[in-house]
Copies of this chain bind each other. A is one copy, B any other.
Amino acid sequence: MTAELDRVESFLAEREDERLADYFDFLRIPSISTLSEHAGDIRAAARFLAERLGAWGLENVEVSPTPGHPVVYADWLHAEGAPTVIVYGHYDVQPVDPLDLWERPPFEPRMEGGRIYGRGAADDKGQVHLHLWVARAWLATAGRLPVNLRFVFEGEEESGSENFDLWLEANRGRLGADLVVVSDTGFAQGNHPAITIGLRGLVYGQIDVEGPALDLHSGTWGGNVQNPAIALARIIAALKNEDGTIAVPGFLDEVKELTERDRDEFARVPFDAAEVETQLGVPALFGDPAFRPLERRGARPTLEINGIWGGFTGEGQKTIIPAHAHAKFSCRLVAEMDPRRTFQRVKDAILAVPVPGVRVTVRHLGDGMWTSTEVDHPASIAAARCLEDVFGAPPYYLREGGSIPAAAAFHRLLGLPVVLLGFTNPDDQAHAPNEQMVYANYEGGLRTIARYWEALAALGPGLGAGTRS
């Protein structure tokens, strides 16, 4: 370890209390991007970041508007001859319902049993926060950063990064860089260090089935009108087969088939189905029988219902035919699927289900590309070495099931390589009640990033490689 890095680590260690309090302050802001009543909280979270970036030595700090929620930008560009790195993260969080399943309120963070609990603790405020503090520590102790940094923190990742492409296109002129580092992923089962080398894309939509103008008395009208809830059920049932495979015509046409080598690589990563079943509380895993669970997660597309509602949902009985029924659906996409084409295929399949007597519409709510990165890029190799130095074991390479549309956008629009270097524990309950982050992962993340900047600087200009193909 260099003397400089030693001082960075000491700075971080000495300020543990202040750092944790600051992390908790960030988690207290209910910055739920998908719910319009939280627009003020989104702005508060953006201000939280901008204030610290400015106070701690970053420059050109800006809360940069988009048609939706703003992007927080800041940079430090005085590492002459060193590579330039864009650090991407997001300061918005998922909704918190069902609220009654949280053991403590989601926006009252706490540490318990070595874990930090609260919405955003893992996804992604914890990881954004550790980047802030690594930059602070370097600037406070060495008066410099080993690399040039551009922070780009988004406020709409959890609502599909709807406006991020627009922002990126509008700002590409000032985003010159050699690499994008995204810290919004995590470790392998058993909390083993990992680097993510693939993410799935996403398409999100809504099915609206409209029947009578008002809820009808089910005695008077039952048997004489199409029931919107039944029509919706028929539609959903038609989209998937009994074995869990997808029944939408053409859905799999562009899916890249797994090679023998791909399947061997998947087989290397630990996965204990029985342990996962216990953890999730399901009687059994369920999915396309032609693939293993990690293959289904990393290399196969999905079509899931995220929510369904219509009619009477209270206690007891209400004898109505619902006026309308609705479902949210989303697909995860893998190489080489196209989000728009996929949406159109699903929409066509929905509208092809014969449900006379109701009106069916399909709305597009958002999408994002899949992404894959190269294991043998020098920046990936350096990341793996830093992880091993800090966590004591070489990382696994994961192809993950989630989506980070922005990661794909950086590659597509700026032509930059992307390293997905995240630290969350796999049982972090992201998107669910009682979200949490193992504190040792957060601490190790700080130290990994602190030395990663040094390691990247050592690679020299252009990171010792061409831009990613």
Contact = CB atoms under 8 A, between A and B. Distances in A.
B307 A308 contact: no
A267 interface: no
A284 B356 contact: yes
A282 B318 contact: no
Interface in A295-315: 296-297, 300-302, 304-315
Q: Number of copies of this chain in the oligomer?
A: 2
A275 B170 CA distance: 55
Interface residues of A, number: 101
Interface in A322-366: 322, 325-328, 330, 332, 354, 356-359, 365-366
Instruction: Specify which of A200, A297, A432 lies most central, judged by the most chain B CB atoms within 10 Å of its CB.
Output: A432
A330 B306 contact: no
Interface stretch (A14-22, A75-83, A224-232, A452-460): A224-232
A119 to B, nearest CB: 12
B432 A35 contact: no
Contact of A216 (B202, B222, B280, B315): B280
Interface in A173-227: 200, 202, 204, 211-227
A35 B315 contact: yes
A236 B286 CA distance: 20
Contacts of A365: 316-317
Shortest 10 CB-CB distances between A and B: which pairs? A219-B402, A213-B281, A286-B357, A34-B316, A307-B311, A233-B236, A237-B237, A307-B312, A222-B302, A229-B305
26 contacts: A34-B316, A95-B314, A158-B317, A160-B317, A215-B432, A218-B304, A218-B431, A220-B400, A222-B330, A223-B288, A223-B401, A224-B287, A225-B286, A229-B308, A237-B238, A283-B358, A305-B311, A305-B322, A306-B319, A306-B321, A307-B314, A309-B313, A313-B326, A316-B365, A317-B365, A318-B328
